[in-house]
């Protein structure tokens, strides 16, 4: 009987409570400062790998939480595209930016690639907020592009870049442009020139970056060091001179902080690249780099908890990553990844250098390569990652395949189109560390969502990538 | 869906108004009826595979939601054991049942295997609730055992079974006993006899099962059909005559429903078994079977929303499963799994039968086996799953290895200790369907948590397996 009375009282009291001023102010809380972090290719395993690695190298049990894995609201998000179950960054990014499902390769355009779809960043701008777009891959790459550009194909880099310099957004930061020059009709266009004409301050040096402040107006800040794809270096290859994803995020907050609010999107784009190459060590460092950028946003949230929303998610998973494989069975040795000193990209250059010398009729110094491998991966170092005879055979075969590529199509199948020696070393280290991979491509598993701040709880449960901008908009002023 | 959202919003708004009198009465809402569902080995990919499969065979895009993936609260749960990062069912089950981390193989005992740890089921019993424990693997298996038994090793099946028949719990259902007889000192004990002596009604027929009702008193209901491991048949091998996990759940609710409340644990134990064998088709059917059991609990929740809590989680992930692999790249064909007609266990019997005939000096009828393969897996059927020459070679090699096992240790490595032909067929079908696997063992990735009902929102965020019984207890009366 008591129970019945209690519920009766409850039902009476629920209604009056909703009319109290406390409740009203809660219901009216609106996010004035919105951060959307996208870990490209970041599934649950990528996040957990970073946490397990940090715990292992710190001598802790289990997982060392990242900033964003301590967020109170968590969800599962489906990522499928309009015309393919396993999505790509353009289609999934379009869903995250516009709330619409589209087909593979579209940049915020409808499935037919005809009609542009308005993005959450453009809507933010319309209501007077400032907008910043940051990525550590090139700024015209699919994920950043879906927030400011509208093109039928992600490969239309010049057109995407032109949309960027024509946009009324306030800050672009991180990587550079894949096609900084192009033509419209017969007119040759230089995007940087065009950007300056349209009122952007453009910097690509550390001094220029340091000089940017909230009096600089609209700005494009490009990393002083870029790789051949216009991307910032892998975190594993960075020196203290390099600007990090966190540096760009801190700068965006400084430049865009204003009473009318802001929308800032930050992409950790190299998680995906590392996972395509099944490179666990690089993947982990890229997740940690994204977390450091999130830390900057979290500091801002702590100062403005009732006006800030931070959402962290991914566009899809890459690689079918797992913490366990048939080499280690039940004994994960994730700390072995610490012996990898550089990214696969950087090691490719070493391999290319060897191959170069070869065409100059130099003799192949395989012993020298084994020494580099011991140093750069710990592989073959008896106190780091000892190798079996079988392992040594795999390395030797891959080395000679890298030196004399030939044109056997089965080589491409075996090595997934990657530099045979590099991918073999990466695979060997991952196998021994216990990191499993099922694919060089994306996979279709749901990706995680983490949120804190105004409306964070709405990201709980099982949602779709098209829900993200809808929920954000519902809690924005 | 609206219902979920409404309920969840209510629970969100509760926090800020925690000082009003209404809030106080809400804060006293307590879960009188608690369901804990454990999908053994069920990571995010296992759940998504079931949803993607259902959508694909129904001709829908993306995912067909299960009952539990529509629950409003979702979390990520770490599973590591006291002495190993990649856990086992005993250690992780102990965490789920007691709130303590322990070492591999312990059944609700401390890491040294000395001190028993009280379980949430025992606490429920202490405060007058009824308790039911259900599993579709043997009822003395690690996951069910951790709720009622205290033993240093999971392999002590007789001692675990003896703990079961000595317990004061109200219902045990599903699988049978691995060691139904044993000795204590010099006394031979028959567990079923002992159970009856201790007041249990014991049934193992459909009629006996049907006759059980809320006047039957305490009961042990064993599936009329069991495999050689004392487990219920795989869902894929079931006939309309078999009792399902849902049947046992419905029966438990009928028998245990009383004003003092109940705690019911239901394990979907064969998800793990299917994933150890990298058998995607079986895994999916087992996830769906668990969901049907959850549907029964959800019906009860709908009738008692303010007194019921349903939590769905897993003890660990098994297999490093992914929706994507290097055979299909971006083109998942998960609907191909529909051509698999029986479990790997069932197919093993067919292979054993062939081998048997062989020792009787029969000639090997490989053509006959290919016909069975076409029929049971669709492999080699031109309208179902066409095979390449390379595939045919793999099948032939595996077939002859199954027929003439020999004692080459590399065979074990190649086939993971499984029947060579069966595992090869399963792998081929999984590869073509796009299901990737990294391991025959468990992996260390966080597993999902889904919750609905009283206190559900407390399962949001990143939690540990030891948090589960603590949170449940905090919301129980």
* Mean pLDDT of the region A204-211: 98
Task: Indicate yes or no: CB of B76 within 8 angstroms of CB of A73.
Answer: no
User: Is the CA virtual torsion A170, A174, A175, A181 positive or negative?
Assistant: positive
pLDDT digits (tens, 9 = 90+) for B438-461: 999 999 999 999 999 999 999 999
Supply the ipTM of this predicted assembly.
0.93
In this model, does residue A16 exceed pLDDT 90? no
**Residue A15 placed within a domain:** no
A338 and A464 share one domain: no
Task: Indicate yes or no: CB of B330 within 8 angstroms of CB of A441.
Answer: yes
Residues of A in contact with B417 (CB under 8 A): none
Residue B29 binned pLDDT confidence (cut-offs 50, 70, 90)? confident
What is the widest separation between alpha-carbon atoms in chain A? 94
Q: How far A409 CA sits from the closest chain B CA (Å)?
A: 15
Query: Quick one: pLDDT at residue A28?
Result: 61
Task: Indicate yes or no: CB of B462 within 8 angstroms of CB of A65.
Answer: yes
Helix B366-377 vs helix B420-433: crossing angle, to nearest 10? 40
Mean pLDDT of chain A: 93
Percentage of residues of chain A with pLDDT beyond 70: 94
Q: Which residue has the higher pLDDT, B81 or A409?
A: B81
Query: Quick one: pLDDT at residue A416?
Result: 85
B229 and B278 share one domain: yes
Q: Output Rg (C-alpha) for chain A, integer angstroms.
A: 24
**Residue B400 placed within a domain:** yes
Specify the DSSP class assigned to residue B421. Answer: H
pLDDT digits (tens, 9 = 90+) for A58-72: 999 999 999 999 999
Which of A16, A74, A455 should we substitute to test contact with B (largest number of B Cβ atoms within 10 Å)? Answer: A74
Chain A residue closest in CA terms to B441 = A329
- CB contact at 8 A, A282 and A431: no
Residue B358 binned pLDDT confidence (cut-offs 50, 70, 90)? confident
**Residue A7 placed within a domain:** no
In this model, does residue B2 exceed pLDDT 90? no
Rounded CA separation B27/B21 (Å): 10
pLDDT digits (tens, 9 = 90+) for A321-337: 999 999 999 999 999 99
B107 and B244 share one domain: yes
In this model, does residue A410 exceed pLDDT 60? yes
In this model, does residue A219 exceed pLDDT 50? yes
Residues of A in contact with B10 (CB under 8 A): 14
Task: Indicate yes or no: CB of A76 within 8 angstroms of CB of B448.
Answer: yes
B341 and B466 share one domain: no
In this model, does residue B23 exceed pLDDT 50? no
Task: Indicate yes or no: CB of A462 within 8 angstroms of CB of B75.
Answer: no
φ, ψ of residue B67 in degrees (nearest 5): -60, -45
* Mean pLDDT of the region B126-138: 98
CA distances from A228 to A349, A403, A413 (A): 11, 22, 25
Q: Is A317 left (phi over 0), alpha (psi -120 to 50) or beta?
A: beta
State the residue range of the domain holding A365. 323-436
Q: Which of B62, B442, B457 is the closest to A330 by Cβ?
A: B442
**Residue A3 placed within a domain:** no
CA distances from B457 to A55, A107, A390, B34, B270 (A): 28, 36, 51, 15, 29
- CB contact at 8 A, A73 and A457: yes
User: Is the CA virtual torsion B325, B328, B333, B336 positive or negative?
Assistant: negative
A297 and A242 share one domain: yes
- CB contact at 8 A, A303 and A364: no
Which of A62, A83, A287, A413 should we substitute to test contact with B (largest number of B Cβ atoms within 10 Å)? Answer: A62
Q: Which residue has the higher pLDDT, B10 or A34?
A: A34
Chain B residue closest in CA terms to A82 = B61
pLDDT digits (tens, 9 = 90+) for A139-169: 999 999 999 999 999 999 999 999 999 999 9
In this model, does residue B371 exceed pLDDT 70? yes
Q: Which of A206-210, B4-8, B49-53, B332-336 has the lowest mean pLDDT?
A: B4-8
DSSP string, B33-92: EEEEEEETT--HHHHHHHHHHHHHHTT-SS----SGGG-SEEEEEE---SS-SS--HHHH
Q: How many contacts (CB atoms, under 8 Å) link A and B?
A: 226
Residues of B in contact with A13 (CB under 8 A): 20-22, 25-26
Rounded CA separation A58/A52 (Å): 10
**Residue A119 placed within a domain:** yes
Query: Quick one: pLDDT at residue B395?
Result: 98
* Mean pLDDT of the region A187-208: 98
In this model, does residue A7 exceed pLDDT 70? no
Mean pLDDT of chain B: 93
- Tell me the whole-structure pTM to 2 decimals: 0.94
In this model, does residue B216 exceed pLDDT 70? yes
pLDDT digits (tens, 9 = 90+) for A174-184: 999 999 999 99
B185 and B57 share one domain: yes
Residue A19 binned pLDDT confidence (cut-offs 50, 70, 90)? very low
In this model, does residue B111 exceed pLDDT 60? yes
B257 and B401 share one domain: no
Q: Which two structure tokens, joined as six digits, stand for B364?
A: 């090997």
Residues of A in contact with B17 (CB under 8 A): 17, 20, 22-23, 26
pLDDT digits (tens, 9 = 90+) for B279-320: 999 999 999 999 999 999 999 999 999 999 999 999 999 999
Residue B406 binned pLDDT confidence (cut-offs 50, 70, 90)? confident
**Residue B1 placed within a domain:** no
A280 and A148 share one domain: yes
Q: Which of B61, B322, B457 is the closest to A445 by Cβ?
A: B322
Query: Quick one: pLDDT at residue A414?
Result: 82
B264 and B328 share one domain: no
Which of B33, B261, B439 should we substitute to test contact with A (largest number of A Cβ atoms within 10 Å)? Answer: B439
Residue B72 binned pLDDT confidence (cut-offs 50, 70, 90)? very high
Task: Indicate yes or no: CB of B72 within 8 angstroms of CB of A460.
Answer: yes
| CATH number of the domain that residue A210 is part of | 3.40.720.10
**Residue B410 placed within a domain:** yes
In this model, does residue A112 exceed pLDDT 50? yes
Query: Quick one: pLDDT at residue B391?
Result: 98
Which of B56, B76, B464 should we substitute to test contact with A (largest number of A Cβ atoms within 10 Å)? Answer: B76
From the list A333, A294, A383, the residue with the least C-alpha distance to A42 is: A294
Percentage of residues of chain B with pLDDT beyond 70: 94
In this model, does residue A20 exceed pLDDT 70? no
Query: Quick one: pLDDT at residue B362?
Result: 67
Query: Quick one: pLDDT at residue B28?
Result: 60
In this model, does residue B20 exceed pLDDT 50? no
B256 and B275 share one domain: yes
Query: Quick one: pLDDT at residue A1?
Result: 36
Q: How far B470 CA sits from the closest chain A CA (Å)?
A: 17
Three-state SS letters, chain A: CHHHHHHHHHHHHHHHHHCCHHHHHHHHCCECEEEEEEEEECCHHHHHHHHHHHHHHCCCCCCCCCCHHHCCEEEEEECCCCCCCCCCHHHHHHHHHHCCCCCCCCECECCCCCCECCCHHHHHHHCCCEEEEEECCCCCCHHHHHHHCCECCCCCHHHHHHHHHHCCCCEEEECCCCCCEEEECCEEEEHHHHHHHCCCEEECCHHHHHHCCCCCCCEEEECCCCCCCCCCCCHHHCCCCCCCHHHHHHHHHHHHCCCCCEEEEEEECHHHHHHHCCCHHHHHHHHHHHHHHHHHHHHHHHHCCCCEEEEEEEEEEECCCEECCCCCCCCCCHHHHHHCCCCHHHHHHHHHHHHHHHHCCCCCCHHHHHHHHHHHHCECCCCCECCCHHHHHHHHHHHHHHHCCCCCHHHHHHHCCCCHHHHHHHHHHHHHHCEECCCCCEECCCEEEEEEECCHHHHCEEEECCHHHHHHHHHEC
Number of domains into which chain B is organized: 2
Q: Which two structure tokens, joined as six digits, stand for B128?
A: 């007058």
* Mean pLDDT of the region B17-25: 37
A105 and A155 share one domain: yes
Which of A461, A464, A470, A474 should we substitute to test contact with B (largest number of B Cβ atoms within 10 Å)? Answer: A461
Task: Indicate yes or no: CB of A72 within 8 angstroms of CB of B44.
Answer: no
Q: Which of B21, B23, B325 is the closest to A320 by Cβ?
A: B325
Query: Quick one: pLDDT at residue A26?
Result: 46
Q: Is B455 left (phi over 0), alpha (psi -120 to 50) or beta?
A: left
Task: Indicate yes or no: CB of B460 within 8 angstroms of CB of A462.
Answer: no
Q: Which of A17, A52, A330 is the closest to B84 by Cβ?
A: A330
* Mean pLDDT of the region B234-260: 97
Burial of B367 (0-12, 13-18, 19+ CB in 10 A): exposed
Q: Which residue has the higher pLDDT, B196 or A406?
A: B196
A259 and A327 share one domain: no
């Amino acid at each position: 009987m008591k129970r019945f009375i209690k519920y009766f009282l409850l039902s009476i009291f629920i209604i009056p409570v909703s009319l109290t001023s406390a409740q009203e102010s809660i219901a009216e809380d609106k996010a004035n400062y919105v951060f959307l972090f996208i870990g490209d290719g970041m599934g649950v395993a990528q996040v957990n790998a970073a946490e397990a690695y940090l715990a292992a190298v710190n001598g802790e049990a289990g997982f060392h939480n990242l900033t964003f894995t301590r967020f109170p609201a968590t969800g599962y998000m489906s990522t499928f595209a309009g015309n393919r179950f396993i999505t790509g960054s353009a289609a999934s990014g379009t869903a995250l930016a516009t709330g619409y499902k589209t087909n593979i390769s579209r940049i915020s355009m409808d499935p037919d690639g005809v009609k542009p779809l308005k993005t959450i960043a453009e809507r933010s701008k319309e209501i007077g907020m400032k907008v910043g777009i940051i990525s550590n891959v090139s700024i015209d790459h699919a994920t950043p592009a879906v927030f400011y550009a509208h093109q039928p194909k992600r490969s239309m880099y010049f057109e995407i870049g032109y949309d960027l310099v024509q946009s009324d957004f306030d800050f672009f930061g991180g990587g550079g442009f894949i096609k900084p020059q192009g033509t419209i009709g017969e007119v040759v266009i230089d995007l940087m020139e065009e950007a300056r004409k349209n009122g952007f301050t453009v910097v690509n040096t550390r001094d220029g970056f340091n000089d940017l402040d909230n009096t600089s107006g609209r700005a494009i800040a490009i990393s002083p060091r870029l790789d051949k794809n216009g991307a910032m270096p892998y975190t594993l290859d960075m020196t203290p001179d390099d600007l990090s994803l966190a540096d760009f995020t801190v700068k965006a907050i400084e430049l865009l902080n204003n009473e009318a609010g802001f929308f800032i999107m930050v992409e950790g784009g190299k998680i995906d690249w590392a996972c395509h190459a099944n490179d666990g060590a690089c993947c982990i460092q890229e997740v940690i780099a994204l977390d450091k950028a999130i830390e900057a946003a979290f500091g801002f949230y702590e100062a403005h908890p009732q006006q800030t929303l931070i959402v962290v998610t991914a566009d899809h998973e890459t690689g079918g990553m797992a913490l366990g494989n048939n080499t280690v069975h039940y004994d994960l040795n994730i700390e072995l990844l610490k012996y990898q000193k550089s990214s696969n990209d950087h090691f490719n250059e070493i391999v290319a250098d060897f191959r170069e010398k070869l065409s100059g009729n130099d003799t192949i110094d395989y012993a020298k390569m084994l020494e580099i491998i011991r140093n750069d991966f710990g592989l073959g170092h008896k106190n780091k990652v000892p190798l079996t005879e079988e392992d040594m055979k795999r390395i030797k075969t891959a080395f000679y395949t890298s030196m004399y590529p030939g044109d056997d199509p089965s080589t491409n199948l075996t090595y997934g189109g990657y530099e045979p020696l590099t991918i073999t070393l990466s695979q060997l280290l991952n196998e021994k560390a216990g990191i499993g991979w099922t694919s060089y491509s994306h996979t279709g598993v749901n990706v995680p969502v983490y949120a804190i701040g105004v409306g964070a709880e709405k990201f709980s449960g099982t949602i779709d990538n098209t829900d993200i901008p809808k929920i954000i908009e519902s809690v924005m002023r």
